[in-house]
Amino acid sequence: MDIKIKQYDVIVVYSESITNSARDRNYIEKSPFSSKGNYRIYNDGYRYFLLRCKKMGINAAFATSKDIIGSGLFQSFWTYDKGWVRNYGKAYSRVIFNKFDPSNVKQKNKLKLLTSSKSIYIFNKELVKFFRNKSNTYILLKEFAVPTIKIKNLSKKNLYLAKNKLDKLLKNHKHKKDFFNNYLIKDEFGSGGRKIFKINFNQDLKEIKKKYELNKKNKLISYILQPFINCDKGFVFGKYKGFIDFRVIIINKKIIQTYIRISRKGGFKCNGEEGDKLIHLPIKSIPKDLMIMVNKVKKVINNLKIKNQVYSLDFIKSNNKNIYLVEGNDKPGITWAFGKNNKSMTSKDKSINQQKTKELINLIVNELKLIIKERGIIHI
């Protein structure tokens, strides 16, 4: 290894579309996420992440997809020492904590370059193929998941082909009374509640086509079709009611955290990044019927024999009291991004959210410590 290349135990990688390279001299702010953007509060989560790594004896850095120049190799990077520090030299690590999901062909090639050597370990890599792709999630967990059909493209012909296929599934589904005339179109690889459209096939095709045109140049975007399931009277937790989803976070087969997200009035998506209320609940508050479902899903995941599992599962309950897995996530959020900017949450809720997120970061860093030890990597 070139002596001019700084070696790290782990490097966090984020997409250049939402964060900034330390090498970018046109970017004059002092942290990787711009204070003017929607992701500004991610700075706090990753500051804590790097500090926790340091406390655990892990030499860690933060880089962007723009910095990737080889397998495990970056042309610049950020570190944290009483403040964010730009590093203009090269950095290398054999362990990558990857938060970078390609959204175009150029980025896909960057990820391929980053992982081109077999010596590079991508944290949670085995779960990515099942949870990043919603079609794969359904194939693996169709017994529990919302019925899903892949859409070839958003032409009228292919939309109706997908609808016909989905309608056949719904007609024979054991809970067919949960399905009506509304549908959801989702980005097959999307996250954060983005690129999700609720449609009625009698009214909204022109609007969907219009939104699709904005993404037409992006060859990586593909879509799925799902039924819209009424669940505004499904989960109820004391004063919390409405469109609610229930997230369970699991590390190595053990449930370590749970929380609910309550959609804003008039909304149908539940996502903290979009300002919806997020309330942490004790694990013992998981309803019995949901716990049965969680354990069934966990059993399927456990049978994959994947080491160092870190993932989350999102569930809804229909108004007919049937539970569905909405999606799995191989990259549970490790930022209290919903805190200061979420007006729907009380100060107490925000404080609990921050505390729980730090607990999650601590557990993830512990996993990283074990991985680094197993691979015989320590750089001080």
CATH of the domain at 164: 3.30.1490
Which pLDDT tens digit goes with each residue over 223-262? 899 999 988 899 999 888 888 999 999 999 999 999 998 8
Looking at the structure, tell me whether residues 198 and 248 fall in a common domain.
no
**What confidence tens digit (pLDDT) does each residue in 300-332 have?**
999 998 887 899 999 999 999 999 999 999 988
* Residue at 376 is within a domain: no
- Bridge partners for 196 per DSSP: 186
**Same domain for 361 and 248:** yes
Q: How far apart are CA 333 and CA 336, in angstroms?
A: 8
Q: How many domains does the chain have?
A: 3
The SS3 assignment for 122 reads: strand
Q: Examine residue 135 and state whether it is found in any structural domain, yes or no.
A: no
Is this model's pTM higher than 0.95 or not? no
Note whether residue 210 is domain-resident: yes
Both 257 and 287 in a single domain? yes
Range of the domain at 332: 244-365
Let me know if residue 213 belongs to a domain: yes
Of the candidates 371, 374, 311, the residue with the CA atom closest to the CA atom of residue 60? 371
- Residue 1 included in any domain: no
Using the CB atoms, write b or e for 353-377: b if 16+ within 10 Å.
bbebbbebbebbbebbbebbeeeeb
| Structural domain contains residue 318 | yes
14 plus 113 within the same structural domain: yes
The pLDDT assigned to 339 comes to 45
Kindly state whether residues 119 and 12 are assigned to the same domain: yes
* CATH number of the domain where residue 73 is located: 3.40.50
Contacts 24+ apart (CB under 8 A), 200-208: 201/159, 201/160, 201/163, 205/156, 205/159, 208/154, 208/159
Domain-ending residue, one of 93, 124, 155: 124
Integer Rg of the chain from CA? 21
What is the average pLDDT value for the chain, to the nearest integer? 87
Give yes or no for residue 217 having a pLDDT over 90. no
What is the pLDDT averaged over residues 32-48?
A: 92
Q: At residue 4, does pLDDT exceed 90?
A: no
Looking at the fold, whether 78 and 119 belong to one and the same domain comes out as yes
Q: Would residue 280 count as lying in a domain?
A: yes
